[in-house]
Chain A
Amino acid sequence: MSLSTQRHTPDPRAGSASPSTLRTQFAFLPEVIAELERSVPYASALATSSSGVRLALRDSEQGVSRRDPSAGVVLTASDGYEIEEVAVGATDEASVRDASRRLLEGLRRTRVGAHERNRNAINLEPGDQLSADYVTPVEISPDSLSLAEKLARFEDLRQRARRGDSRVVQAMARYGDAVETKVFVNRTRFITEIVHRATLNLTVFVSDGNVRRYNWLSRGGTGGLESLEVDEASLANVTEIAVALLGAKPIEPGVYDAVVDPSVAGILAHEAFGHGVETDMFLKGRARGVHYIGKRVGSDLVTIVDDPTVPGANGTYFIDDEGQSASPTCIIRDGVLMGGLSDLYSATRLGIARTANGRRESFERKAYARMSNTFFTPGRHSVEEVLGSLDHGLYICQGANGMEDPKGWGIQVGAHFAREYRHGKPTGVLFAPVSITGYVPDVLGNVTMVANDFHLHPGGCGKGWKEYITVGDGGPHVRTRLQLA
């Protein structure tokens, strides 16, 4: 058999999963939950697995590997005051039943003194009856290409970027596909979810012998290879901008009229009022937003939504990791803060409605209130109108990173570069890098135009410096006034 035509072996942990196989594999979980609930008022189980392929391609070096496959089960129980969990890196019945036994032992130990430690009892509700199976729609399955074909396809893309300019010193392509399965069980719910995912990142490094710069493009999200298409113009643009950045100037710190592209707008939304309305932060007193529900925090052009149901987006899912069915949450409507994103514990403690935002990094970590796909909603102006309105300002592009400050409402967003605009036209002058800082209500309050385009970008999100999950963020082009450095 020719290696080049060999398909990769289906992974028994995830790659070959179907709702029926998951239901069969975990048919014992309802009984485990019932046994736990003979001792405690609430119990649930989450079984997860992930598997896929990862390619890393660069000059004179190639890597291909399984994408950190993992499989495990976390059992959750509440004695009415605290939550206790046992997580095991195994999915067989014997291991899970052993974990259940250890969970009860742990509860007996921690129950001593739990009432003294926690002043308020908590009653975790399992939700309405629901039995459902969900699978991400895939147009072009990653399995439709052999591994050799994937290598050839993305190496060709890399080589085309590599040849774009003589100043390119390195080009890197990273591809990954994955199948992530989830089974959630409590006394009212047995839900399976299979999420397919594909991502591509291409980074081009250039040098003039002294200065080094780089630029990148990212594609992908949930679904299949259909989200990874890169047209020739986009490919050429990656290299052209990297080369142009060799002549970029540092920005003069100050306040600027600015238009941010959807990638920067997305990070603004994510950092400004994504993290700031995670309701576990409300419970901990770490978010100023709790005092501003129903109050104005931005101009009336600002509407920010978190939505795990956006087809194909990177932060899309059907149920969260606590069994809550996905639905959109309007965080800010017409400049007024509406509410937060909750997990089961904080929603119960705060007495607020649950949203589908209880997410874990993996079965090894606890669930927190986390974002999914967070974005500004589109406005009524064309992109050309928004950019054309800049009499003397900057078009800030290629969002790179950000950091939240839910308590102080400060913000930091790193953008890769900015184009200078005069009289509605680009001058050809580039500034790099660009750091956006400032006070969140000022940033949102100064929004004067919102374009009618809409793009979501794949990203990763941590809570503090850990708890990494997949998210999407974006929106339209947004005009505001920003403090830059």
Chain B
Amino acid sequence: MVTRTLTADFIVQALSRRPEIAGWTLTRRRRHGTQLYVIGRDVENTREVTTEDFTVTVFHDHPWPDGHDTGIAGHARGVSSVKLVPGDTASLDARLDEVIMMASLVHNPSYELPPPETLPAVVLADPQITAADGTRRAVWEMAEAVWEACDREASTGVRLSAGEFFVTVTDREFRTSRGIHASSETTHLAVEIALLARGDSDDPTLEAETFRPVEARRVSDLRLASQVAEASRFARDTLRARPTETRDGPVVVSGTALPPFFDPFMFHSSAQAAYMKLSRFTPDGTVFGDHATVGDPLHVSSHALRPYGLSSHSFDGDGVPGRDTDLIVGGILFARHAPSRYAQYLGVPVTGEPGAVVVRAGATPLAELVRASGGPVVEIVAFSSPNVDDITGDVGCEIRLGYEHLPSGEVRPIKGGALAGNVFEAFASARFSQETQEALITGFGGGGVFVGPRGARFEGMRVAAG
């Protein structure tokens, strides 16, 4: 048989001829997308991108080297992956030789791929975007929406500096040696906008900027008009913000500044962290360590089934069905999010890879959380970057924009300085707003989606002057 370009069937046939492989997974990923870059109303660049690749993961069972652990099944399991492109047909056998050799050299406790199960239906693609020419139409629709929204802000002295608009359609086919054969189609939209605000002065050095990344699976979910309106307000407030002063006292973190504070809770809730002996949480134990819980009860869940959710999935990288899982209930570790491998290692239920981080809202209006009584309350709405250490829970973030809520009712914007503290200590006394938000988790650790309170008030964190 002559096959010019690689196909999933061709790879599966090749894998089936390799008895030394103890198991395998195959993911074929086809992506096409359009990218649009604008500076003000000028178009800088329009790009079309098309890629296709295959990721093959193979398992190889072999005896443990002398002196090593005997493992769960008495033998070691090696795993390795290789990525192939359609032009790799002629080199497929050599590539498989190599990946099998690589798997044979590594020694892990054994674990099994999951068996086929009924997979939940999760809608993750916008049919308007998957239609012919849909990605190109969508980037222009997004740009027009931003331009229109910025035009509405022009009278306030705010203008669009630059925008980037990405629309990608990904078609994924997933197969395993256990008989799973699944597919998914997703759409992904990403927008970055930078707005500039200029006050009454003609001095261009006195401008202020707001930068905002937004992602969704449908154009309507981006809420671009309201994103621009809020970013515009932040840019104007940054322009007139005073330097932050050092103070101990209540701090409210709200909006997109809040989600990264939950990263350490997700890290320490994971089965992988427990297996690596890095988790500070123990089953049925408090997540706050020695700190007494005096705030709102902390409930954290992982939701993988939300329609059009950025972190949603019908199946994960091993073929485990997506599901919703309660992780922390009332400040107590209820369950770990556990992909198949680490669930087997720890002997805990398989949950699959996590979805959106869902945090239960509180009962207090945000306006009440920021209300000052004895002294000012500092509300922080934007950090330069969410520098939250997953391992230690330490926080050290520069304040890009905040507000000082005074007992008189006056609200003054502030900028500069830093918020410092530790999330495991701070959340023991945190109170959450009753208003909710769905926001991106941006940061050095990567993305994700947060669904939870719009704001949280902490009593034990410190604001330092800039």
Contacts and interface: CB of A to CB of B under 8 A. Distances in A.
Interface of A: 3-4, 6, 8-9, 12-13, 53, 58-66, 68-72, 81-92, 102-103, 106, 110, 114, 117-120, 147-148, 151, 169-170, 205, 207, 210-214, 250-251, 253-254, 283-286, 288, 291, 345, 364-366, 401-403, 405, 407-408, 410-412, 414, 432-435, 437-439, 464-466, 483-485
B205 to A, nearest CB: 5
13 contacts: A60-B108, A82-B43, A82-B44, A89-B85, A114-B43, A117-B43, A205-B277, A253-B465, A365-B35, A366-B37, A434-B396, A464-B211, A485-B418
A137 B400 CA distance: 43
Contacts of A71: 85
A169 B277 contact: yes
Nearest to B104: A3
Contact of A286 (B37, B69, B162): B162
B50 A88 contact: yes
Given A64-B80, A285-B207, A464-B213, A437 B418 contact: yes
Contacts of B99: 66
Contacts of A106: 46, 48
A254 B464 contact: yes
B19 interface: no
Contact of B466 (A87, A148, A407, A439): A439
Nearest to A283: B39
Nearest to B241: A408
Contact of B392 (A65, A82, A212): A212
B100 to A, nearest CB: 10
Contacts of B396: 414, 433-435, 485
B80 A485 contact: no
Q: Which of A61, A205, A364, A401 has the most CB of B within 10 A?
A: A61
Nearest to A345: B44
Contact of B161 (A12, A83, A286, A437): A286
A251 B278 CA distance: 24
Nearest to A368: B37
**CB-based closest 8 A-B pairs:** A253-B464, A89-B51, A435-B396, A412-B398, A403-B385, A485-B464, A485-B418, A407-B209
A124 to B, nearest CB: 12
A191 B12 CA distance: 39
A410 B416 contact: yes
Contacts of B213: 464-465
A68 B83 contact: yes
B156 to A, nearest CB: 17
A405 B400 contact: yes
Contacts of B409: none
Interface stretch (B87-95, B303-311, B324-332, B428-436): B87-95
A465 B442 CA distance: 7
A283 B63 CA distance: 61
Contacts of A170: 276-278
Contact of B276 (A59, A65, A485): A59
Contact of B420 (A72, A90, A405, A485): A485
A337 to B, nearest CB: 13
B39 A483 contact: no
A119 B418 contact: no
A65 B102 contact: yes
Interface residues of B, number: 87
Contacts, number: 243
Interface of B: 35, 37, 39, 41-53, 69, 78-83, 85-88, 91, 94-95, 97-99, 101-109, 161-162, 192, 194, 196, 204-205, 207-209, 211, 213, 238, 246, 275-278, 280, 289-290, 384-385, 387, 389, 391-392, 394, 396-398, 400, 415-420, 442-444, 462, 464-466
Given A9-B98, A82-B43, A414 B387 contact: yes
A259 B346 CA distance: 45
A170 B85 CA distance: 36
Contacts of A484: 464
B66 to A, nearest CB: 14
Contacts of A365: 35
A63 B341 CA distance: 13
Given A9-B95, A85-B47, A89-B52, 11 more contacts: A8-B101, A9-B94, A60-B275, A82-B43, A110-B46, A147-B102, A251-B420, A283-B39, A284-B194, A345-B45, A412-B398
A345 B44 CA distance: 8
A212 B278 contact: yes
Nearest to A432: B394
Contact of A401 (B101, B246, B387, B462): B387
A89 B276 contact: no
A214 B391 contact: yes
A3 to B, nearest CB: 6
Contact of A483 (B43, B192, B385, B466): B466
A63 B43 contact: no
A59 B44 contact: no
B326 to A, nearest CB: 25
Contacts of A291: 204-205
Contacts of B196: 285-286, 407
Contacts of A212: 278, 280, 391-392
Contacts of A110: 43, 46
Nearest to A363: B49
A147 B48 contact: no
A401 B444 contact: yes
Given A8-B98, A89-B51, A286-B194, A366 B45 contact: yes
A119 B41 CA distance: 9
Contact of B83 (A8, A69, A435): A69
B278 A205 contact: yes
Contacts of B39: 283-284
A448 to B, nearest CB: 21
A123 B213 CA distance: 31
B45 A437 contact: no
B387 A407 contact: no
A58 B101 CA distance: 20
A210 B425 CA distance: 13
Contacts of A410: 384, 398, 400, 415-416, 466
Contacts of B208: 407-408
A64 B418 contact: no
A219 to B, nearest CB: 21
A472 B94 CA distance: 35
Contacts of A283: 39
Contacts of B104: 3
Contacts of A84: 45-47
Contacts of A285: 161, 196, 204, 207
A65 B257 CA distance: 36
A432 B209 CA distance: 31
Contacts of B466: 410, 437-439, 483
Nearest to B196: A285
A35 B435 CA distance: 58
Contacts of A102: 48
Nearest to A83: B45
